[in-house]
Structure 1
Amino acid sequence: MDGNAPLGRFAGVEHLFVLRVYFEDTDLTGVVYHANYLRFMERARSDMLLAAGIDQRTAQEGGEGAYAVRGLAIQYRAPARLGDELTVASRVLSLRPAAVVVHQRVMRGGTILSEAEVEAVFVSPSGRPRRQPAEWLTAFEPLVTKGD
């Protein structure tokens, strides 16, 4: 792993991932383009999994499978702008044998800019849902929280 890659951290059961808004993230007005919030959240979820001890790369390369987003509900509340430092806070809301639901908030300081609920399903290399690796379920169990 690249020693310069950004890394988040857990604060209790919530994972916090900090990032800065760069020019490439914005439209011509300097406001973050709406689809880039999804990129920020994806990076934060991937980092959360890594911090929890879940190795997606090994599972994928070993032919076990990978996560696929099955459902997503997102709300935009306020814009992020060029140069802003943002925090993506992620919490596991529910866990099933083949799926996990994560609630994520993109914040600037204490202001929520966007929030989403994302359902990711573990799928086999052929694309069929399958049980997540047992060690992943074990890693997720202590992180499950209830709603907002």
Structure 2
Amino acid sequence: MKEFLWPVRVYYEDTDSCGVVYHANYLKFMERARTEWLRALGFEQDELLQKEGILFAVRRVETDFKQPARLNDALIVSARIKTRGKASLTFQQKITREANGQLLCSGEVQVACIDAARFRPKLIPETLLAVIADAQ
């Protein structure tokens, strides 16, 4: 799958008392990139809920923190599908500093497609799988 890139700016609210990005906020940045990737493919999460009755929930996360991001840093968050299952997607993601390309954080995130009414696994709709396959 092609790598999707999304710019993020570090705001004061993203930092801790040391002036660096609080570790949990890297996960928020990754979430934004996955949401924007889905939007770039022509799918909105609220519409998938209304029309297909599905949600994507994070099932597993593995992160590796390399260097801190700081207030006002311009970052690039990437998302690329590593594996595609019938009811899940596993993403490889990276966060780099835009100015010099320095790797700050990398991770692997598995999201599960779930039935919104039952909160049980559900197959990813064929229309979405077809678009994902075409984008590879």
Contact residue 94 and residue 100 of structure 1 kept, 8 A: yes
Amino acid at match of 1:66: L
Which ranges of structure 2 fall in alignment gaps of 5 or more residues?
none
Contact residue 88 and residue 106 of structure 1 kept, 8 A: yes
TM-score (norm. length: structure 1):
0.85
Contact residue 5 and residue 78 of structure 2 kept, 8 A: yes
The ranges of structure 1 where at least 4 consecutive aligned residues each deviate by more than 6 angstroms after the TM superposition are none
Contact residue 19 and residue 86 of structure 1 kept, 8 A: yes
CA–CA distance in structure 2, aligned partners of residues 142 and 13 of structure 1: 10
Amino acid at match of 1:13: K
* CA displacement at 1:87 relative to structure 2: 0.3
The one of 107, 124, 146 aligned to 2:96? 107
Which ranges of structure 1 fall in alignment gaps of 5 or more residues?
1-11
* CA displacement at 1:52 relative to structure 2: 1.3
* CA displacement at 1:63 relative to structure 2: 5.4
The residue number in structure 2 matching 1:54 is 43
Identity of aligned residues (%): 38
User: Helix, strand or coil: the match of 1:53?
Assistant: coil
CA–CA distance in structure 1, aligned partners of residues 84 and 43 of structure 2: 14
RMSD in angstroms over aligned alpha carbons? 1.4
* CA displacement at 1:54 relative to structure 2: 2.2
Number of positions where the alignment pairs a residue of Structure 1 with one of Structure 2: 133
The residue number in structure 1 matching 2:108 is 117
* CA displacement at 1:44 relative to structure 2: 0.6
The residue number in structure 2 matching 1:131 is 123
CA shift digits 1:48-102 (9 cap, x unpaired): 0100122321121235111011111111000000010000011111111111111
